[in-house]
Amino acid sequence: MICQLPRGYFGYVVRVVGTTQLSHVRRRLQQSRPHKQSVSVVVRHYTALSHASHRSLLVGAGASTTPVRGVGLLVARVLRGALKLRYLLLGGTIAGGSALAKTYEEWKAALPDSKFLQDLLPSAEEVDKMRMKLLAFKDSIKDAVPDFQLDPRLRELGDARYGELVSWFNKRLDDAIRAAEEEKRDASQPIFTEGSLLHLSGTPDYRALPPAPTDLASDLKQHAISFTSGGGTDKEKAQVLHVKKSLIDMYSEVLDELCDYDTSYDTHDHLPRVVVVGDQSSGKTSVLEMIAQARIFPRGAGEMMTRAPVMVTLSEGPYHIAQFKDSSREFDLSKEAELSELRKEVELRMRNSVAGGRTVSHEIISMTVRGPGLQRMVLVDLPGIISTVTSDMAVDTREAITSISEQHMSNPNAIILCVQDGSVDAERSNVTQLAARMDPTGRRTIFVLTKVDLAEENLANPERIKKILAGRLFPMKALGYFAVVTGRGNKNETINDIRDYEEQFFKSSKLFRSGGVVSTHQCTTRNLSFAVSECFWKMVRDTVEQQADAFKATRFNLETEWKNNFPRLRELDRNELFEKCRGEILDEVVNLSLVSPKHWEEALSRKLWDKINTYVFENIYLPAAQSDNSGTFNTTADIKLKQWADQMLPKRCVEIGWETLQEEFKGLLDAAKKSRDHDNIFDNLKAAVMEEAIKRHEWEDKASDMLRVIQLNAFEDRSVPDKPQWDAACHFLEEALQEKIAANDAKLKEMLGPSSWDQWVYWCNPTEEQKKRSAVRMELEKLLQATFNHKNTLSYDELTTTRKNVQTLGYDVDNECIRETWHLVYRRHFMRKALARAYDSRKAFYAYHQGLESELGVDCNDVVLFWRIHQMVRVTANALRQQIMNREARRLEREIKEVLEEVGCDRDKKAELLVGRRVLLAEELKRVRQIQEKLEEFIQALNSEK
């Protein structure tokens, strides 16, 4: 076996058997060794082992021990040595030579920069000569050792064993020959190099340059092949693969960061890209599809299909997929159904971009295409340049297309891929003049002649095509000139069909082969894609340092602004601010669970009474109090309470409980605002999250049914058990009456105007309406003084008397004015009487307990009614408190977390809720720092790669 020894010298170890073969191999290897390196041939003799093995083989087969056996053994040894030598030299020599040729340049670059080693190291030409000698040596060995036949005596081992030996030997020999032929074929394939792009005009001389990797991806593949062939240690292999892969990933990250940072793609943007321009129906979209290796664009017969710029970012990946920049869906380009859906989506986006009567749009449709073997670059497909505006187009379509093309082509780092239809006359071209105007020196223009198969069918003049591809016909200059074929006009053709047709055409074309019109390296979209990739990467290398310097200056300006405006704050972007706000909200949720049961019950009791006291007074207490005896009072109250508990009270209490929960949580948030660490930048976000969580929250339905049962039970009990509860009921009634009296007096004062004291002290005068109502109040109070236990309504005679008495005072009033004033005056009179009875009832518990109210003339019905209502409020507050602490608070916490998760995933929502110069400055500063760091890391990797 031939293997490569450690770097620094060349050596081969050959295991052979026999002195004759040893001398022959040593002589041939010394003749073909590279330069002056020593060739060590280590011959290991296994004579004893070989004798023993052959002896056992022949004896086991029944061979005789006569002198003939010695001759047979000698023949077997020679045969074995020749067979092994042929196999080893055919397989190992070719494999070692191939590995040597492929890894030599990397091996040489890895050596220290020492001048004294230059004389010792062989040149590339000498390595090629050595490789050719090895191949010639292989051919000589193949001719010198014709088809060998195994010793027939080995059949004595058995037909099965003999057949296995023959099959094994033939297979290994065929593999070695096939590998040699593939190496020859790979070595003859033309590869586009960067040096070929240095010509501004004329046919590029590709053959004058050594083969080079087409881009970083192919460079990585070349290294992988070299190391697989036997060059380098495992550690070195892993290190090189890591560097190459990281370099591709780093550039991909830089490109994505820059695209996200500036998505406008205006002329001031310095990102390198390939701008595909051409006349309408010139085949520019097909060229782009061939580079992307997928039919991703809609097609039409003679109709303008590209109505908006389409930016396609190509990158390597394990699967061939496409994805729009603003969508998460991935289209599998290996499936025709998804390819069709992708084309429909592109067409739909184009039509949506030209709404409002326009024919073309400046709006860019961005998509990413990943796949194995794709070149890493950015291409922009522009609408085709037209000569005539048809009736179904907007009148300014031609100018709009020219404006779009100029905008993208004017970018100093844009590579112009100028596509010209080869099947039409050159004088009809519009795009070449535009390219010449935008890039007069041709330093970033690549010319592509499409549809050359149609040109051959039309018997085009070979000299004219030769002038086009030599850069002598059109008034423009370019880095390189290419001829391609992008199909036969059948929209059902696949990329593989088009590629096969293109290769077959250029192989059989008389115009491009026999006529010698163009070099082979100027043909096929494969060479074109290599050229575009090389130019793109060269542009990246030339501009990445400028980008880094620009972002470094931008970073300094932003950091200076931050230090001057926000000196004591950390630079938090929206995501970091959101996470901080999320923590504060969740902390408040935790604090909500720490609220004591006593606080909950007090808050719920207060809220319940605030919401139901009006209904209690207006619909239950006042109607029941109009009765003349206690039986009627209690009957009316029982009926009203039962109807209330059956119909609306439970649901209303659930609403009150939910409102209380909201208020308590908002109270915690408001309390947090008063702390020293409060940041008002979170106020909008907290309010929005709270509002959305409250909107989603729904109280459990069974809660109202549970409340209905306990409330009915509370209303059914009319027996006050002890003196403390009696005193509590009296106090509850007194407070309720005092609140109502105060509210009623406020309304009455507003109706009657300022009092005499206010008029003298504050210089306030009542209006005429207020004077009328004051006169009515005086007459109504006289009526109440005359009839202390008056009903809550006025009779017709009382209305008439009051109106006439007011008229004697000079005021003309109607019955409606009297009734409105009477409502407030009587209510105050009634509640004052009820308050007096409440005071008297404080000491009436003994009479109530003994049933002596009527005998002692004490009316305790008001106290008992409000004790029942107070009990209902107490048990309802307790039930709601348990529901909140055990169920609703936890459900609200889950809903708040769900809202936070949704907002955290919604970039637009965060941008809407977290606003201000502080946020924008932190966002921009973080992005600029991130981009600058990635650029510097990428530049360092590029420099180390050089």
Question: At 594, is the pLDDT very low, low, confident or very high (cuts 50, 70, 90)?
Answer: confident
Find all residues with CB under 8 Å of 244, minimum gap 6, and list them.
216, 219, 220, 223
- Which pLDDT does position 624 carry in this prediction? 87
Give the lowest-confidence range in 6-20, 661-675, 684-698: 6-20
Reading phi first (left if > 0) and then psi (alpha if -120 to 50, else beta), residue 373 is in left
State how far the Cα of 436 lies from the Cα of 442, in Å rounded to an integer: 7
- Which pLDDT does position 579 carry in this prediction? 92
- Which pLDDT does position 564 carry in this prediction? 93
State how far the Cα of 917 lies from the Cα of 426, in Å rounded to an integer: 56
- Which pLDDT does position 318 carry in this prediction? 85
State how far the Cα of 572 lies from the Cα of 580, in Å rounded to an integer: 9
pTM of the model: 0.52
Mean pLDDT (whole number) for 784-802? 87
848-862 tens-digit pLDDT: 888 776 666 677 888
Residue appearing with tokens 């029944």: 62
- Which pLDDT does position 421 carry in this prediction? 85
Who wins on pLDDT, 201 or 143? Answer: 143
- Which pLDDT does position 410 carry in this prediction? 85
Give the lowest-confidence range in 274-283, 452-461, 910-919: 452-461
548-591 tens-digit pLDDT: 888 889 889 999 999 999 988 888 988 999 999 999 888 888 88
| Mean pLDDT taken over the chain | 75
Mean pLDDT (whole number) for 376-401? 81
Question: At 390, is the pLDDT very low, low, confident or very high (cuts 50, 70, 90)?
Answer: confident
- Which pLDDT does position 349 carry in this prediction? 87
Q: What is the CB neighbour count within 10 angstroms for residue 123? A: 13
State how far the Cα of 147 lies from the Cα of 73, in Å rounded to an integer: 21
Who wins on pLDDT, 254 or 224? Answer: 254
The fraction of the chain above a pLDDT of 70, given in percent, is 69
- Which pLDDT does position 35 carry in this prediction? 41
- Which pLDDT does position 33 carry in this prediction? 44
State how far the Cα of 813 lies from the Cα of 85, in Å rounded to an integer: 135
Find all residues with CB under 8 Å of 605, minimum gap 6, and list them.
873, 874, 877
Reading phi first (left if > 0) and then psi (alpha if -120 to 50, else beta), residue 794 is in beta
Question: At 268, is the pLDDT very low, low, confident or very high (cuts 50, 70, 90)?
Answer: very low
Does residue 411 have a pLDDT over 50? yes
- Which pLDDT does position 225 carry in this prediction? 33
Question: At 271, is the pLDDT very low, low, confident or very high (cuts 50, 70, 90)?
Answer: low
Find all residues with CB under 8 Å of 381, minimum gap 6, and list them.
276, 284, 285, 288, 297, 306, 309, 310, 312
Question: At 176, is the pLDDT very low, low, confident or very high (cuts 50, 70, 90)?
Answer: low
Mean pLDDT (whole number) for 114-119? 48
Mean pLDDT (whole number) for 613-621? 90
Collapsing DSSP to helix, strand or coil, 243 comes out as: helix
Task: Please give the radius of gyration of the chain, using alpha carbons only, rounded to the nearest integer.
Answer: 49
Collapsing DSSP to helix, strand or coil, 282 comes out as: coil
- Which pLDDT does position 759 carry in this prediction? 81
Residue appearing with tokens 């088009």: 498
Question: At 34, is the pLDDT very low, low, confident or very high (cuts 50, 70, 90)?
Answer: very low
Mean pLDDT (whole number) for 839-849? 84
Give the lowest-confidence range in 256-270, 272-286, 598-612: 256-270
Does residue 74 have a pLDDT over 70? no
State how far the Cα of 58 lies from the Cα of 78, in Å rounded to an integer: 16
Mean pLDDT (whole number) for 368-374? 86
